[in-house]
Structure 1
Amino acid sequence: MPEHERELGRAQREHWQQTYGEHPSMYGEEPSAPAVHAAASFRAAGAREVLELGAGHGRDTLYFAREGFTVPAADFSPVGLEQLRTEAVAQGTAQRVSTAVHDVRDPLPFADDSVDAVFAHMLLCMALSTKEIHALVAEVRRVLRPGGTFVYTVRHTGDAHYRAGTGHGDDIWEHGGFAVHFFPRDLVGSLAEGWNLDEVHPFEEGGLPRRLWRITQALPR
């Protein structure tokens, strides 16, 4: 990995650690709209376990657990995951939630064909290079069982913050301390090669608003 990518990754990890520490439950307690949609899709596909990548402080993890799924949750922020575990105990869902401190630039700490579904809300559009994103999706494919479903969301190149702030190359732009890899449509297509691409759904979130795609794709059985 080039040194500038390592430095950006370290800086973003520290930024998120500080942000979660200063703003506990910064995204609120209600689940994201993509998580609500994903839960229905996962249930329809017969999933019982949902791996959440980039879980943060866990609003979506806890929602999946309340809906009856077993949820291993991974994030590179120990601070965020500690908040998640505390709230899982408070909500009575701790028995369905496990956590792992993990940077998705590394291989996922799960066995081949071991999970029913994977969910990632705005993780793939963090400060990851295109090469790292492809490697991550390959890892998702490895850990999913045949027929497993992957739902992820990303900010795209139609977003108001695209090309705003500090550019780091590879469509990565930093604004307000947060670095985002804005997705062009052809990147979504290339990540779906060998999958069944069920949906690319545009939506908006937040006050700017952020402009995103919700992508649903499944492995062949």
Structure 2
Amino acid sequence: MSDDARRLAEAQRRHWQSTYTAHPGMYGEDPSAPAAHAARVFRTAGAVDVLEMGAGHGRDALYFAREGFNVRAADFSPVGLDQLRRAARAQGLDGRVTTTVHDVREPLPLPDASVEAVFAHMLLCMALSTEEIHALVGEVGRVLKPGGTFVYTVRHTGDAHYGSGTAHGDDIYEHGGFAVHFFPRHLVDSLADGWTLDEVHAFEEGDLPRRLWRITQSLPR
């Protein structure tokens, strides 16, 4: 990682920590629409154990637990995960949810073929380089069991914020303190190399609105 990339990564970590501290439960309690989709996909595939990367304060992780999945929630913000744990205890879900402080630039702290499903809502389009994104998807493939499913969402180059704000190179732009890697379609396709690309679904979220893709891909059995 270059010095510039390291500084950006640390600035983003501090930004998320301060944001979660200032705005506890900032995304509310209702699950995201992609999480509801993922739960249906995971259930159809017979999954029981789910890894959520970039879980934040846990609205989706808690939803997966309420739906009967065993959830490992990972995030690089201890503040967000502390909020998640407190919410899990309050909802009687602490037996179904475990948390791990983890930076996705590092290898996932899980054995090979140890989970059946992985979910990540807007994590891959954070301030990660294309090389780091490929490495992360490689790690997802390593920890998934054969036939396992990966559902993730990303903002793409059709988004209104693409090309605005501070440019950091590699299709990364910082706007309002948050740095986003906007995905071109060819990046989605390259990340599915060796997988079955089940779906690329375009949708919108929020007031801007943000324009995203929801990608569902699975490993061969």
TM-score bracket, normalised by the shorter chain, equals over 0.9
Distance apart, 1:161 and its partner CA: 0.3
Match of 1:199 in 2: 199
Match of 2:218 in 1: 218
Deviations 1:43-90 (A, max 9, x none): 000000110000000000000000000000000000000000000000
Q: Whole-Å Cα distance in 1 between the matches of residues 33 and 50 of structure 2?
A: 16
Instruction: Give the partner amino acid of 1:119.
Output: F
Look up the SS of the partner of 1:20 in the other structure: helix
Aligned residue runs from structure 1 range 79-118, under 5 A: 79-118=79-118
Instruction: Give the partner amino acid of 2:137.
Output: V
Q: Whole-Å Cα distance in 2 between the matches of residues 162 and 177 of structure 1?
A: 14
Distance apart, 1:180 and its partner CA: 0.1
Match of 2:185 in 1: 185
Distance apart, 1:151 and its partner CA: 0.1
Q: Whole-Å Cα distance in 1 between the matches of residues 21 and 164 of structure 2?
A: 27
Aligned residue runs from structure 1 range 109-148, under 5 A: 109-148=109-148
Name structure 2 gaps, 5 residues minimum: none
Give the alignment's TM-score, normalised by structure 1.
1.00
Instruction: Give the partner amino acid of 1:157.
Output: T
Distance apart, 1:207 and its partner CA: 0.5
Q: Whole-Å Cα distance in 1 between the matches of residues 111 and 204 of structure 2?
A: 34
**What is the CA RMSD across the aligned residues, in angstroms?**
0.3
Look up the SS of the partner of 1:207 in the other structure: coil
Look up the SS of the partner of 2:123 in the other structure: coil
Q: Percent identity?
A: 76
Name structure 1 gaps, 5 residues minimum: none
Match of 2:76 in 1: 76
Structure 1 runs (4+) greater than 4 angstroms displaced: none
Q: Whole-Å Cα distance in 1 between the matches of residues 139 and 213 of structure 2?
A: 21
Q: Whole-Å Cα distance in 2 between the matches of residues 150 and 66 of structure 1?
A: 20
Look up the SS of the partner of 1:215 in the other structure: strand
Instruction: Give the partner amino acid of 2:70.
Output: T
Q: Whole-Å Cα distance in 2 between the matches of residues 92 and 49 of structure 1?
A: 18
